[in-house]
Amino acid sequence: MFKNITIAAISSLATLFSHAGYAEHVYVGASYALLDGCSTEITDDASIRSGYGRIGAYFNESISAEIRGGTGINEDQVGAYEISLDRWHGAYIRGGMFVKDTLFPYVILGFTHQEVSGSSSLWNDFTQTKSDFSYGLGVDFSLNKRISLNAEYIMHVTSEDSGAQGLSVGIIGHF
């Protein structure tokens, strides 16, 4: 199901990008995230840093759709395991409202797919793949018509047996 949603999101964005009238509504960005996550394999939370990119388009002045993909930058030692975020990607809808032409607070909803692995010299290695509903809050701060800074808190994976959530900061270029 997640694969179908991702394909639909990519197709929708590609359709938007192909129309010259929407060219100024397309954006790309890069972000750095501090994520806390848990797994059924371990009892304590792991703290992982992640880098990710995004590409999106506005449908109107309040709603945008985007796809994101990233990977972990570090590994965290949790008990006997060395935990790493191998990769993640997702499709999201953002809805918000401009405040004084410079601030765009928003809510974000979507789906995230992630792969986490753990290795240990004492126990069996594991790889855990999860896809789940995602939600959060964020704000874009426009520096000018082409560049914005971004801060966001998002719950990427919210299932009972595993999860990942955290704060990210980034930069967005509007075209």
pLDDT in tens, 33-78: 998 865 555 556 777 889 999 999 999 889 999 999 999 888 777 7
Higher pLDDT, 105 or 74: 105
State residue 9's pLDDT score: 53
Q: What is the pTM of this model?
A: 0.79
State residue 140's pLDDT score: 96
CA 3, 94, 130, 122: dihedral to nearest 10 degrees? 140
**What type of residue sits at position 6?**
T
State residue 23's pLDDT score: 40
Picking from 165, 146, 54, 148, the residue whose alpha carbon sits closest to that of residue 104 is 148
**What type of residue sits at position 37?**
G
Distance CA 7, CA 5 (A): 5
- Domain at 2-174, CATH class: mainly beta
Indicate the pLDDT class of residue 106, thresholds 50, 70 and 90: very high
DSSP lists the bridge partners of residue 126 as 118
Picking from 131, 133, 129, the residue whose alpha carbon sits closest to that of residue 92 is 133
